[in-house]
Structure 1
Amino acid sequence: MQFTKILMVAGAVALSTASFAHGAKEHAKGAAPMKMEQKEWGIGGHSKDVKRTVEIRMTDNMRFTPDLIEVKQGETIKFVHLNRGKVMHEFVLGTKKELDEHSAMMKKFPNMEHDEPYMAHVGAGKKGEIIWNFNKVGDFDFACLLPGHYDAGMVGKIKVVAK
């Protein structure tokens, strides 16, 4: 765990000198292929495997709708994120522990650039999407980790049930 924190700090320091991604800017799409890495909460999915689409609305009252989603193990979901607010929001999948750690990093480095297959950064009035394969059973979380948003309660839960 300590090694993970060291890597996160080192990565954040390196990224803090890179181009900034938060604020009015959105992450560049297609700049480089994203790595599909197995996570505790699943792995990036492919559009050909999508079983269903779940629309998630984001608002400036710091809420997601819906904020509770049930998924079957092995299901590939396309999340479509609609930002109905006037500020940028993001959708980041993970465990509570991972999201807590990432949120702490975002507070220290609010302009750090990051782009992973389990996150979407959505500008005001825009739409974003991710495709994720939930290949592990468990209770997982999603959140907006922009400074202040997570602490204000912009969080949700995903329950992955066995087939």
Structure 2
Amino acid sequence: MKARTFLTASIVAALLAGVALAAPGHAPGEGHDHGGETPYGKPGDPKKPARVVQVVFREDEGKMLFLPDNFRFRKGEQVRFQLRNNGAVDHEFVIGTVEENLKHMKEMEKNPDMEHDNPNAKRLKPRTTGEILWQFTKAGTFDISCLIPGHRQAGMTGTIVVE
């Protein structure tokens, strides 16, 4: 009986390891699993004050948009992005570097049902809301994108400048 239990536990462990390896962009320090510091900041502290910024997702005449799509913040500023999907399809809001978002966009093309609910990313169904609390700890120019295949190419991208 012990051998059978060990074998079952070994199979479960191997399967779980395979799932962890197969999830693109979700290894610690890679992709969008940002529980700590990144080149563009870190998750916000809910106990501290934050500037509230509202962002609407929508489609309009073949384009997909964030409104607004350009932001300016001060280094060290904490921002509460209040997100609202007014569109007819799912959209997401992913904060990152251009390089990181473009790399992850390619991963999403291979795995389009991948959903983001990480500190720097939120996917929303139509007519729903969500939020991201983020602290911009470093100066620079950063990217926001919807990484669902075709959405960034349809215009769902923007810029964050931290001074």
TM over 0.5: yes
Give CA-to-partner distance per residue, 1:106-126, whole Å, 9 cap, x none.
001112244321001111000
Whether the 8 Å CA contact 2:65–2:156 is kept in 1: the answer is yes
Larger radius of gyration: 2
Question: Of residues 129, 132, 144 in structure 2, which corresponds to 1:142?
Answer: 144
1:121-152 alpha-carbon deviations (Å, 9 max, x no partner): 11100001010000000000101000110111
State the SS of the aligned residue for 2:131. strand
Any runs of at least 4 consecutive aligned residues in structure 1 with deviations exceeding 3 A, and if so which?
10-13
Contact persistence 2:116–2:123 (CA under 8 A): no
TM, length-normalised to structure 2: 0.77
- The whole-number CA distance in structure 2 between the counterparts of 1:141 and 1:107 is 19
Letter in 2 for 1:49: K
Deviations 1:68-123 (A, max 9, x none): 11000001100001111111100000000001001000001112244321001111
Structure 1 partner of 2:94? 92
- Report SS of the residue matched to 2:38: coil
Q: Distance in 2 between matches of 1:59 and 1:127?
A: 13
Instruction: Say whether 1:73 aligns with 2:113.
Output: no
Q: Is the 8 A contact 1:12 1:112 kept in 2?
A: no
| Structure 1 unaligned residues grouped into runs of 5+ | 1-9, 17-33
1:14 aligns with 2:22: yes
Q: 2:158 is aligned with what amino acid?
A: G
Within 1, Cα distance between the matches of 2:43 and 2:102? 21
**Is residue 42 of structure 2 the alignment partner of residue 43 of structure 1?**
yes
Aligned-residue sequence identity (percent) comes to: 39
How much is the aligned-residue C-alpha RMSD, in angstroms?
Answer: 2.0
Alignment partner of 1:55: what SS?
strand
Q: Counterparts of 1:42 and 1:35 in 2: how far apart (Å)?
A: 9
Query: What amino acid is the match of 1:56?
Result: V
Distance across 2 between alignment mates of 1:57 and 1:48: 25
Q: Tell me, yes or no, if the aligned pair for 2:115 and 2:123 is still in contact at 8 Å.
A: no
Paired with 1:113 and 1:59, the residues of 2 have a C-alpha distance of 18
CA distance in 2, matches of 1:89, 1:12: 25
Q: Secondary structure at the match of 2:47?
A: helix
SS at match of 1:102: helix
| Aligned match of 2:127 | 125
1:36 is displaced (CA, Å) by: 2.1
SS in 1 for 2:118: coil
